Amino acid sequence: MGEAGDAFRLGQVLLSRDEIKRRVSEIAGEIEREYRGRELIVVGILKGASIFMADLVRCVGDSVDVRMDYMAVSSYGDASTSSGVVKIVKDMDTFAEDRNVIIVEDIMDTGLTLYYLRDIIMGRNPESFKTCVLLEKPDRKKIESEIDYRGFVIPDEFVVGYGLDYAGKWRHLPDIWRVVKE
């Protein structure tokens, strides 16, 4: 985001809690229609997707047998760029073979993390595999990664709130805010 020692502050709200709530409910409805009467493993990518995933699965009706799991990944590189190498820090606890899996991610920038996760999960022979992303920044995309359920397309701005953070700050905010350099 910036150089060491840079100071940042909250700017304007980009997406309000009401807009987010409405879109999460719409995505949950799509998932419910597609998986009605079936088991579904919803895998949140920690830490950023945790709030989005919790709200999403609470909106999916009881006609879907939802199981929750988590993965944590990290990208290697210097402080300002990713090398594109993704390492699994915490893997799923649930077996994916012959099961329906949806990966839930907070934000897609380059597409590298989703591309890597798709490859890993597909190697585990799921019955189906889909991706759900709250925010997409198409201007930063380096690799084509399909998004099956998309919350919002946003400009290439740094944002926090609703699970997204800067240096551990602002993850708890219910709206999504622009961050500006002081």
- What the block records as the tokens of 124 is 């585990």
Between CA 157 and CA 180 the distance in angstroms is 9
Between CA 98 and CA 62 the distance in angstroms is 21
Helix 17-35 vs helix 50-59: crossing angle, to nearest 10: 60
Active-site residue flag, 109: yes
Give me the catalytic one of 69, 109, 139, 156: 109
Between CA 171 and CA 54 the distance in angstroms is 14
Strand pairing class (176-181; 159-160): antiparallel
Q: Name the residues annotated as catalytic.
A: 109
